[in-house]
Amino acid sequence: MADTKYIFVTGGVSSSLGKGIIAASLAKLLQSRGYKTTIQKLDPYINIDPGTLNPYEHGECFVTEDGAETDLDLGHYERFLNVNTSQANNVTTGRIYQSVIEKERRGEFLGKTVQVVPHITNEIKRRIQLLGQNGDYDIVITEIGGTVGDIESLPYIESVRQLKWELGDHNSLVIHLTLVPYLSAAKELKTKPTQHSVKTLMESGISADILVCRTEHELSEDLRQKLAQFCNVKQEAVIQSIDASTIYDVPNLMLEEGLDTITLKKLNLPNDSQPDLTNWNKFVNRHKNPKSEVTIGLIGKYVELQDSYKSILESFIHAGAENEVKVNIKSIHSEFINTEGKDEISALDGILVAPGFGERGIEGKIEAVKYARENNLPFFGICLGMQMAVIEYARNVLKIEDANSTEMEEQTKNPVIDIMESQKNITQMGGTMRLGAWDCELKEGSLVQKTYGKTTISERHRHRYEYNNKYKEQLEAAGMLSSGINKQTGLVEVVELPNHPWFIGVQYHPEYKSTVKTPHPLFIGFVKAAKDYAKKKKK
């Protein structure tokens, strides 16, 4: 009998149906009943991690406290559960094969032929059970990326089949998320894609225990009965997941459908308490009933794909609810600011200059910073956004016209932003940046210290280039305060302008730590500043 119960979430028919949100919502319901719950993501791509992927390929790269570069779904897990994830919560095919090949090179397989079964599947099963073996969790939910039938996912599906058999009755279950499309010409919902998806899963030796059906229209009892009959599940285990106005509605929708109830029943776990969603629903109520609105410009170079800045967008939702304000995000591509973006910026209540890599769109970001600085528009710069603020100030206030970052211009004579010493001899790109949580000391009485309400903080990093301390004295003399310092390295983590209503740039990524329960103070402060700015504009 296993001490930890395992739930596997698979997907069919189409990608991007929201497995991560369903997994996080179920975890939230189980957590609110008192069960210690975590979620992990198995990604079938061969990259070791998403750290070297372009955001257009896979959305943002989420960074954990221990410095793992992971799938963006881990951000959802943390935002819903308010529990930190780690390296163990995200596994890729690349990492699985790397581990197995390293073992083979060390001779650990005693000369045996290394095969997908059992060697790859054994490694997958080991990774799945890592979180359950430390005694911290009652339930581990494992989301399997991709869709059933994908060639890349087959080893994961086979591993789940083996693990279900090994764990024994009532110790695991499979939730299959599928699509029930609506054909407008026929004016009816069609179940055949779901039937085929479940059949494909069964061909791999797995029967779905629970069906979660994504739909734009209500599922009738007749249709649920049909799905149950042809997909070989109980009718009570056919769960409707209808389109919601916000992802934060999904836990309540799943509660209404009884997803947590049927899950506990199938896992043979006590169902003697009701989920306590009091605080969650207070947040949802504030989010859906704002008292005012602000418009924030998100200045970035991956703005065509919303998932590129997923954590930032969600952080604005958390901070908006805290301020009882609706935050409208205006995405502005930094490549086009020089030609057409300034008019857009003038209509905003604040701008956030987003993180990124490479030289494309840099001059537009610098122009946006300049406008915010000169017009007292609330400004928030994150990572590259902070670096652009330093470059803009050096160029336009210190009059160092060729000030730049060595990331953009390797031979620049005035590198106000420079590559870290520890990074100069690195040749491999993956997993080699400054990553994970680092402490920072905040200057007493500074805006950032007042915003946090404390002088020592810990924030997550993901970058190679830093504020160059050789220019610190000049910049500070000209009015740019270095208000956050990493004591371990002596590097500047935060800059601000004391003579500006709200102008803060941070080297780290505060968006990774904002959750429903604990919205990030910097986002709260920035949204409040934008709210005050909007009020002044109306007068």
Q: What is the DSSP string of 23-65?
A: HHHHHHHHHTTT--EEEEEEE-SSSSSGGGS-HHHHSPPEE-T
**What pLDDT, on the 0 to 100 scale, is given for residue 321?**
96
pLDDT of residue 58: 63
Contact 449, 401 (CB under 8 A): no
pLDDT band at 96; cut points 50, 70, 90: very high
Virtual torsion, Cα 105, 111, 116, 121, nearest 10 deg: -80
Which residues are CB-neighbours of 386 under 8 A, at least 6 positions away?
Answer: 467, 494, 495, 505, 506, 507
Q: Which residues are annotated as a binding site?
A: 15-21, 56, 73, 143, 150-152, 190-195, 226, 244, 356, 384-387, 407, 464
Helix (H) or strand (E) holding 477: helix 472-477
Cis check: omega of the bond before 118, within 30 degrees of 0? yes
For residue 339, pLDDT beyond 50: no
> pLDDT per residue over 8-38, tens digit each?
999 988 877 889 999 999 999 999 999 999 9
Alpha carbon distance, N-terminus to C-terminus of the chain? 68
Please check whether residue 308 is in contact with residue 513, taking contact to mean a CB–CB distance below 8 angstroms: no
The share of the chain scoring above pLDDT 70, in percent, equals 93
pLDDT of residue 429: 46
Residues annotated in a binding site for ATP: 16-21, 73, 244
pTM recorded for the entire structure: 0.91
The strand pairing partners of 440, in sequence order, are 457
Q: Which residues are annotated as a binding site for UTP?
A: 15, 190-195, 226
Q: Active-site residues: which are they?
A: 383, 509, 511
Q: Which is higher by pLDDT, 32 or 355?
A: 32
Quick one: 517 exposed, middle or buried, by C-beta within 10 A (0-12, 13-18, 19+)? middle
CB-count exposure of residue 354 (10 Å: 0-12, 13-18, 19+): buried
pLDDT at 292 over 90: yes
Count Cβ neighbours within 10 Å for each residue of 218-256 and write b for 16 or more, e otherwise.
ebeeebbebbbeebebeeebbbbbeeeeebbbbbbbbbe
Conformational region of residue 326, where left means phi above 0, alpha means psi within -120 to 50, and beta covers everything else: beta
Q: Per residue in 228-277, pLDDT tens?
A: 999 999 999 999 999 999 999 999 999 999 999 999 999 999 988 889 99
Match 């003399």 to its residue by tokens.
477
Secondary structure class of 150 (helix, strand, coil): coil
Q: Is the pLDDT of residue 337 over 80?
A: no
Per-residue pLDDT tens digits for 129-185: 999 888 889 999 999 988 998 899 999 999 999 999 999 999 999 999 999 998 888
Asked if 249 and 264 count as a contact pair (C-beta separation under 8 A), the reply is: no
Report residue 344's pLDDT band, with 50, 70 and 90 as the boundaries: confident
Residue 442 carries which side chain, given as an amino acid letter?
Answer: L
**How does pLDDT run across 519-536, given as a tens digit for each residue?**
999 999 999 999 999 888
Beta-bridge partner residues of 445: none
pLDDT band of residue 346 (cuts 50, 70, 90) is confident
